[in-house]
Structure 1
Amino acid sequence: MSTAERPLDTVAVSRDELVAVLDRQRKAFVADGPANLATRLNRIDRLLAMVLDNTDAFVDAMAADFGTRSRAASLFTEVVGMIPVIEHTRANVAKWMRPTTMMRAGRLFGLRAEVEVAPLGVVGIIGPWNFPLNLVVLPASAAFAAGNRVMIKMSEVTPRTAELMRTTAPKYFDALELDVTTGGPDVAAAFSTLPFDHLFFTGSPSVGAMVQRAAAQNLVPVTLELGGKNPVVVAPGADVTRSAARIAQARMVNGGQVCVCPDYVFVPDDRVESFVDVAAATWRGMFPAIISNADYCSSVNEANFDRVVSLIDDARANGARVDVIAPPGEALPDRTSRKIAPTIVRGIDDTMRIAAEEVFGPVLTVMGYSHLADVIDHINARPAPLVAYWYGPDGDDFRHFIRNTRSGGVARNDFAAQMIPSAAPFGGVGRSGMGAYHGKAGFDTFSHQRTVVGTDLPFSMTGSAAPPFSRPMRAYADLSLRMARRRTNRRLRASGRNA
């Protein structure tokens, strides 16, 4: 057994210990009151410094957890990508914190109304294994921006990264501000039952459903960042050579272990062979070697390796055409390195597991189509994906596709393009997630919009709702009802849709 595969003991805690941490953080939150701007910015800065000061250690830990994961891959996907999002949040916290004044004219008469943005309290974050650093730091930065305390449960699938985070965080944070927990599924299950003020989870839909059920016991609101089978449409007017190359490259990010990776591709019937040829050539150019290639990311563990291999085997056994793009002389898949060659699967049907399961590996399903309507029907007959891809011009077909499909986001002509704007919300819909973060969406996720209204008027504006009801008040109610009916009916007649 290699060093990368050897089990690592992590510090596990009991539910009682977790409850104690939560209780201490909540008491500190109440005692200190809402965090001011300086405190929020300082926490964001310390969080970013924790990552930047220890980048090499985190990169090494993730490489050991995965078996093979290059420094460049971890830098780009884990560290560099989070910086602009955090900097955007930091630059806008002061603006986002400001209360919103309402009914300004009412102030002349002694009526003041505003909506203040209040922190929730203590936020729980359950992190995934595919990006074990990025996907806990980004939600934590948003929670800090909103003025909250944070508890993080790291993924047990990447234990070295989890342990490093646990031992590094106390050098930058008091446990009353940020606490990091490690441990196995039992700890994660206990963590999800805690009475947080908000619970944020990134992972699979199946585990997300369990987290939501556990949180519901305490009526804890949840944000679920999940995944799904992300469809790709190569439009009739697309440059197939460019599209196939970009899609093939995108499938190989983090060894295909990305929730926004393209999963299955629709290509015009008469261009399928060209697409497959270019995709295969692209992979051959990217990976002249795989087993010894430090840039070729391994499956994170044997369980995921076996799951992806079994999806391919099941498709092949049930009649699919499977093209394995392996370098000459290499026998893949290779269990020792946990590497699976880039693979194209064609001719799938609903009897095959790969038709419904998210692959999360270096496998791309390719299907032909004649009519865009058939593509839209196929996508709409399945759970909404986290992202839908379109390769081709921004024309009527693309806009029709957007209007008539449902997904967390849409990207055209490039991988994860919907995540390029730092201010853009990121999140799924339906089975691919619930809620959003990044930019102001993250700040709002971890905030409460609290309406505050006060009156110095010499009379009660709402006291008329209490009996006894005077004749003028009854007449006013009847008049308001008649006027509302007339307005509504007039609008319906004008629209020509008066049922």
Structure 2
Amino acid sequence: MSQDSLHALFETQKQAYRQHPYPSYAERRDRLLRLKQLILDNQDAIGEALNEDFGGRSVHETVNAEILPSILGLNHALRHLKGWMKSRRRLLPMLFQPAWGRLTPQPLGVVGIMVPWNYALYLAVGPLTSALAAGNHCMVKLSEFTPRFGELFARLVREHFDPEVLTVVNGEVEVSRAFSELPFDHLLFTGSTAVGRHVMAAAARNLTPVTLELGGKSPVVIDRSIPVREAAERLVFANCLNAGQTCVAPDYVLCPAERVEDFVNFFLQEVREQYDDVLNNSHYSAIINDRQRERLMGYLRQAEAQGAQLHWSADLPGGEPVGGKIPPVLVTGVDPEADLMQHEIFGPILPVIAYDDLDDAIAFVNDRPRPLALYVFGFDKALRQRFAEGTHSGALVFNDALFHVALENLPFGGVGHSGMGHYHGDDGFETFSKLKPVVGKQRLSTLKLVYPPYDRWPHRLIKKLFIR
């Protein structure tokens, strides 16, 4: 798609919004229902398209990690939309009485949504749910790494929506670049921190507000107050879902030094129990493409060359996996300066770092960029306050991982290098709305008392009562 075509699409939506800037509850509800029906009627086609794009994507994972949370989010919005749209009364200070004030949620206008390849459906539908509920018109740019899904989703959207309200854009990197340069009223980008910097710079030229969901390295801290087997069992699912290609996947584990060996053994045992022959199991997904696979293998080769130990969950006769799948692998003895510890892994690789004192583990986390999620495993209740007050992260989760992403009544978003802004539920509705203060007075206006000249008794009384 050419830059001129993108601008034409944007101008079409912009003009349509200006002609009808405040969709009714019925119109917004209809749009959400259309989006929901689009998904429900095409579950098999969506699963097959993503399976083809990945060269082996578990249909069950598509259902559980994309279709299910998409529908849950839409249902949550449909239940609460009427309440979200209501103006909220605000009581004004006594000094300005008599007066009235309200906070009115107003659609921003035209919203841009840039979607990554790892959860192409959910990371399109999640922001769309919030933006459409807020009454906006939306343009969605899908990843060039999921062309079959992109073609399918674009066709389905054309069949269910007027392009003046919602349209899907596909194309290579140059299209993404041009998309980020459009003067949207809000732009949401999900992807890597490196690309997020470019998106934010492009948006800044238009003073476009951005929500950035960037990921980063989400740590796991295992405390001595939990059996290490329990922690290992709960982490396998989080590390293996979508073959680790998840922005909130556990990225490395900080484990008490005397329990590292046990953790490794229990983790590998649990992988085999959940997946059996993991490389030949259709429930275990492939790496999206050769480029990403080679990146991950490069991390492992470098770490091993520097003295790290690789603990594979599958037998590899040739020493390395063959084909599109990489079995889960734990890495011990890794150099903290290795690429594996410097970049978001985004694959089924989990470094395990030994620590002696919990303070050292917390310092290790705090010395690095703030993560999208921090997972703490331990049954000692004192850990809650210690980590809540002593660390920064987009989310803090105890004794499990990943599930917080599907909680529609909690905001989802990062902090620092892991992103800015948030969405989901009412927080998403507010992200894509202008909460406009509307204030006024009736016939009686006491503000006349403060008009000049300024040496009269009302001014002396105001200073005496309020400036103290």
* DSSP-derived class of the 1:351 partner: coil
Which residue of 100, 106, 113 maps to 1:125? 113
The 1-side partners of 2:449 and 2:172 are apart by 57
Which digits, 9 at most, give the CA deviation of each residue in 1:156-180, with x for residues without a partner?
0111111111111111000011010
Matched residue, 1:402 = 388
Which digits, 9 at most, give the CA deviation of each residue in 1:284-341, with x for residues without a partner?
333332443222211101111011111111111112122222236576322xx32112
Matched residue, 1:42 = 30
* 2:19 aligned with 1:31: yes
Shift in CA distance, 300/472, structure 1 to aligned 2, threshold 3 Å: same
Report matched runs for 1:213-292 at 5 Å: 213-292=201-280
Runs of 4+ aligned residues of structure 1 deviating over 6 Å after TM superposition are none
Report sequence identity in percent.
38
CA contact (8 A) 2:449 2:458 kept: no
Matched residue, 1:296 = 284
Matched residue, 2:305 = 317
* DSSP-derived class of the 2:354 partner: strand
* 2:3 aligned with 1:15: yes
CA contact (8 A) 1:51 1:79 kept: yes
The 2-side partners of 1:357 and 1:442 are apart by 29
CA contact (8 A) 1:326 1:332 kept: no
* 2:185 aligned with 1:197: yes
Which one-letter code corresponds to 2:75 in the other structure?
A: E
Unaligned runs of 5+ in 1: 1-12, 484-499
* DSSP-derived class of the 1:117 partner: strand
Matched residue, 2:133 = 145
CA RMSD of aligned residues (A): 2.0
The 2-side partners of 1:440 and 1:109 are apart by 31
Matched residue, 2:371 = 385
The 2-side partners of 1:346 and 1:188 are apart by 38
The 2-side partners of 1:199 and 1:449 are apart by 17
The 1-side partners of 2:318 and 2:280 are apart by 10
* 2:368 aligned with 1:368: no
Which residue of 438, 449, 468 maps to 2:435? 449
The 2-side partners of 1:203 and 1:463 are apart by 55
* DSSP-derived class of the 1:201 partner: strand
Offset of residue 480 of structure 1 = 5.6
Shift in CA distance, 450/324, structure 1 to aligned 2, threshold 3 Å: same
Matched residue, 1:472 = 457
Report matched runs for 1:321-332 at 5 Å: 321-327=309-315, 329=317, 332=320
The 2-side partners of 1:156 and 1:415 are apart by 29
CA contact (8 A) 1:332 1:341 kept: no
CA contact (8 A) 1:146 1:446 kept: yes
* 2:143 aligned with 1:158: no
Which one-letter code corresponds to 2:100 in the other structure?
A: R
Matched residue, 1:493 = none
Structure 1 length normalisation: TM-score? Answer: 0.90
Offset of residue 268 of structure 1 = 1.3
The 2-side partners of 1:32 and 1:421 are apart by 32
Unaligned runs of 5+ in 2: none
Which one-letter code corresponds to 1:188 in the other structure?
A: S
The 2-side partners of 1:340 and 1:226 are apart by 24
CA contact (8 A) 1:290 1:341 kept: yes
Which one-letter code corresponds to 2:325 in the other structure?
A: K
Which one-letter code corresponds to 2:147 in the other structure?
A: P
Which digits, 9 at most, give the CA deviation of each residue in 1:200-258, with x for residues without a partner?
11101111111000000000000011101111111111021111121122111100000
The 2-side partners of 1:452 and 1:69 are apart by 50
Shift in CA distance, 118/350, structure 1 to aligned 2, threshold 3 Å: same
Alignment size in residue pairs: 467
Which one-letter code corresponds to 1:469 in the other structure?
A: Y
